[in-house]
Structure formats: structure tokens, C-alpha cells
A = this chain, B = another copy of it.
């Protein structure tokens, strides 16, 4: 009794909101301690709202009895998500802590890939029969209020073989005549998804149709579970986070930024940085043949950063726009020709604008400065070289940036891997060749 009293005295001072605010500055032991101080109802809510990563970490630092208690507090789909993050032996141990029915459900869910509709779904939906009357269905759903169903506001109408015939909402039932049959009031023309549909696509369906729940079917049309919109908000946010991190040239962190250790972060970031650095080494070799030209015309190396960055920036724009359009389903692989046409047009316009600026910079820079180029180097030639090079690299950047995500998708990779740094690096190497090719033709060849 005395321990319970102490706990209560503490809990008066620690609310879930306080703990949530302090969470990211606490270590594992402090988190467990704070968590124990919450009152039971608050604790349950708090635990359920934690990210899966945090749930695993917290569970790990609790006693076996506490662990069993909290595992049992989770709905099967959430428990499956949690177990997905643990090692094989830990998983078996935790499974043994569940009651028989939950264990069976969780095992089924674990068989799905985490990012599939099957991995997202809950198996706890309300089933109604087509030959029920409306009043019977209402009474039935009402009785399910205490059951651990995901929602009682939708009844899924299944035939004998568990095939989905339609869905009826409690609201529709309320509007119908009490003696009408469910089969006559149900919505038969409904959106459903196959078990193996990727969660990103599921998220798009929710966004497009403003749905509350989506039934998940197997190949023969049998109902397996439902995905609800509250889980989808997380999915949409996670997928966007993953894309953003990839666009920045990092592997997906899979956890909140401040909670990833510096060493883990190093690993997630070093991969691409090293690849890009090695790729960029090609510029050193590509520039080799122009070493003498740079000595003869000293303005040439000075303009290199200006010219390649213009291409890199145009490429970053194009790739991020196309990556996002593909993620939202706005641009498909079959649209590649339309995308290319648009980017060639936009790239040309942007290239002309920047090229003109570059040309002016050279002409005005020369007019306002006392410094002169080497004998035989004409300002006009330099200006034209810069103008055309910038036009060329910007156009090339827009083409590379827009096509690379599509090529990656075509090859089965994630389009978001066409990160801004990757596109910039590709365009750097080729951009320098465009620039020095033009410089040789327009400037070097006219030298005495």
C-alpha cells in the first residue's frame, strides 16, 4: 500500500504532457522511471502514442511483468509493429507473453512486410451479414462497443467465404428503415486494397478519396483486415520524411534526428558522401587535359564554380519536383516524354536567363575593372563562352535531374535516391566538359 501511495503522490506532479515534453532529453532509465510515475490510464495512452522505436526501447528497460502488461495493452497491429523492430529471440519471448488469440493475430500480421497494406492493417473489424436487417445490424454493432474492435462505425458485409460484398456505416444504418436488409442499404461499390499494396500507395488512396478506413483483401477477394486513417497520417509523414532525407543525400534515419546516435548518423550519411566524393574525383581527371588552357587563360578556372553550380541547382530543382510528383502519383513512368518535353522547355528558358546574366557579368566586369585578360583573349569570346555554357549546363541539369528519378524507378530503385547532391555531382562532371569544350573552341583556338 505504501508504494502505491508514493506513486500516487509522485504522479500528481508528473503528467503525460510533462513527460512528453521532457522525453527527448531523458535517457532510457529516466524514461522508464518517468513512465512508471504516470497514472495507469494516462500511462496506457502515453505508451500507445509513442513511436514504435520508443516503445521498443521503453519495453526493453522494464521488468518482465511490466513488459507483459504493456504488450497486452497494444492492439495486435501495433504489437506486430513493435515486434518487427526486435531481434528474433526477443520476438519469441514477447510473443509468449501474449494471450493465445492475440498471439495468433500478431503472428499472422508479422508474416506481412512492414510497409505493406497487410502490415498496416488491423484484423479487428466488425463483420455483418448481408441478410441481417438494419435494426439487427445496429444492435450488433452497438453490442460490439466493448469489444476490442478498431471501429464499430463501419460494418463489413461478408459472404460465407469471407469475401467482401460491401460496407455499411452506422450512420447509413441510422438513416435506413429498420426492417430493410443490410444487403440493400450497403455500399457495394467500394475502394479496397490488396494485401501486398505498398503503404505509400495506400496513403495516396486515403488522400485522394478522403476515406476513414479501407478494407484489405487477399487475391481471391477475401477480407483480411482494415487500415484506418489515423495510422495513415503517420505513414504519409514517415514516407515524406524518408523521401526528404534521401533527397538530401542521406540514407533514411528511421528515427527522430535527435535520438539517432552520432555514430549511427555518421553511418547513414557517410555512404552517399563517399560515393559522391569518389564520383567527383572524376572532375580532376576530366580537367587534366585543360591544365595548360587554364594557365594560358586565367579567367577560365575562376568561372568553374559559377558554371557548375548553375547546372547543379537546376538539376536539384528538377529532380526534387519529379521525385515528389512520382511519390504523389502525379507523374508516372509513362509520362516520361511529357516530363522531358517540359524540362527541356523550362531548362532552356532558365538557361537563357542565367546565361544572359553570366554574359553580362563578364562584359560589365571587364568594363568596370582595370584588370585585362591575357593578350589575344577577347572579352566577347569569354562572354559568349560563359553564356552558352550556362545555358548548356542548366538545360543538361534539368534533363538529368528529371530523367534520373524515372530511370531509377524503371530499374526498380527508389526515385528519391536521385538526391540533389547526386544530380549535382553528375552535372558537375559533364558540365565541366561542356564548358571547357566551348572554351577550347571559342577562346583557345583563336589565341596566337
30 pairs from A and B in contact (CB 8 Å cutoff): A145-B171, A145-B172, A207-B237, A210-B233, A236-B236, A244-B323, A245-B321, A248-B319, A248-B320, A250-B317, A250-B321, A257-B325, A257-B331, A258-B342, A272-B313, A273-B310, A273-B353, A276-B313, A277-B310, A277-B354, A277-B357, A281-B306, A283-B302, A284-B305, A304-B305, A305-B305, A309-B424, A309-B428, A312-B421, A317-B421
By CB atoms of chain B within 10 A, which of A203, A208, A269, A278 has the most?
A: A269
Interface positions, chain A 318-364, Cβ under 8 Å from B, are 319-325, 328, 330-331, 335, 338-339, 342, 345-346, 349-350, 353-354, 357-358, 361
Interface-side segment among A63-71, A92-100, A224-232:
A224-232
Please give the distance in Å from A224's CB to the nearest CB on chain B: 21
Give bound CA distance, A90 to B186, whole Å: 40
Give bound CA distance, A325 to B258, whole Å: 8
Please give the distance in Å from A257's CB to the nearest CB on chain B: 4
Q: Are A428 and B305 in contact (CB under 8 A)?
A: yes
Interface positions, chain A 266-309, Cβ under 8 Å from B, are 266, 269-270, 272-274, 276-278, 280-281, 283-284, 287-288, 291-292, 294-295, 298, 301-306, 308-309
Q: Are A346 and B269 in contact (CB under 8 A)?
A: yes
Give bound CA distance, A324 to B319, whole Å: 18
Known contacts A283-B305, A321-B245; decide if A421 and B316 are in contact (CB<8 Å). Answer: yes
By CB atoms of chain B within 10 A, which of A172, A253, A306, A331 has the most?
A: A306
